[in-house]
Amino acid sequence: MTKPAFTITCVASDRTRPLATGEVNVPGAQLDFRFGEPEAIFREALNNASSEITELSMSSHIITTARGDARYVAVPIFLSRAFRHSAIFVRAEAGFSSLADLKGANIGVPEYQQTAAMWVRGMMSQAGVAASDVTWHVGGLNAPSQGERIKISLPDDIKVNTLSGADTLNEMLLSGRLDAIISPRVPDGLVRGDRRVARLYPDLKAAETAYYKETGFFPIMHALAVRKDVAEEHPWLPEALFTAFTAAKRQRQEEMAMTNVLRVSHPWSVHDFTEAMQLTGGNPWPYGFARNRDELEAMTRFMQADGTASRKVDPEELFHPSTLALVE
């Protein structure tokens, strides 16, 4: 019997490649992988839903779920996670040394709804800076952009300006028109070594480790998602995907611990991986709903507070019911 085939669009990573190469198979299904970059993947998924399965921005998924027009349902496979202390860039001469210093600042973001920006706004709120305490500027980081991937409506107290013409966030920061940028990608000014731009956290590893120890969160960015009509027609698929993607992640983690031949091009990869395993209790990249519920609850709370979500979403709403009880 021929297995049903599904297209999947995602970022190529150690968590997805084993399925693309056939090292790990999805029980009962055949996947046709299409690799790309997050910005293009999300824009296509949210506006056209062309792939049956996709990597999806969690912030955009929460937005569409809150307003009732989500075309995908998530599986608790978190394909992207990242500490976002590294996403905060500031005007060096401003003298900022903490998130609390950003109150009243002009801050640039590629998209207000971006998950990276949401996490930083959540961190800012815990430092006493509300989203309404800042003036936000939305536009391309190093080149003009298309703006928000989908239309969003924000409360009147959230001040957002959209860049026009050839303006970029990088040039606005260098010229002093912005005080800071929140972006998962690095502005050209810092890449070139321009001394007018600096990171808010000079020692990123120390800041990220302290945050993890305080919160237990390794911030979720993207989840695997199945188009709703496909999930309805193939209700077994979300659980099958969970099983396969979990196996792929475990396979790569086992390889990272090997010492006979290094599997990644990093001299201290085994040492770093061992340290991460010890810090995280043996699971540095957890999948599953229950293990991540507190973090997902924080995300939905942050998004109600920053105006992106029109209501407080219960984390359970975001995921296919068959996956809620699944554990690694």
Burial letters for 176-192: b for 16+ Cβ neighbours within 10 Å, e otherwise? eebbbbbbbebbbbbee
Question: Do 5-82+219-253+285-321 and 84-215 have matching folds?
Answer: yes
Mean predicted confidence (pLDDT) in 271-285? 96
Give the domain 5-82+219-253+285-321 fold: D-Maltodextrin-Binding Protein; domain 2 (3.40.190)
Q: Which two tokens stand for residue 213?
A: 């120890």
What architecture is the 84-215 domain classified under in CATH?
3-Layer(aba) Sandwich (3.40)
Q: Give pLDDT tens digits for 165-182.
A: 899 999 999 999 999 999
- Domain definitions of the chain by residue range: 5-82+219-253+285-321, 84-215
What is this structure's pTM? 0.97
- pLDDT averaged over every residue in the chain: 97
Q: Give pLDDT tens digits for 207-258.
A: 999 999 999 999 999 999 999 999 999 999 999 999 999 999 999 999 999 9
**Quick check: 279 and 212 in contact, CB under 8 A?**
yes
> Which of these, 240, 236, 239, 247, lies nearest to 23 by C-alpha position?
247
- What is the secondary structure of 178-222 as a DSSP string? -SEEE-SSPPHHHHTT-TTEEES-SSHHHHHHHHHHHH----EEE
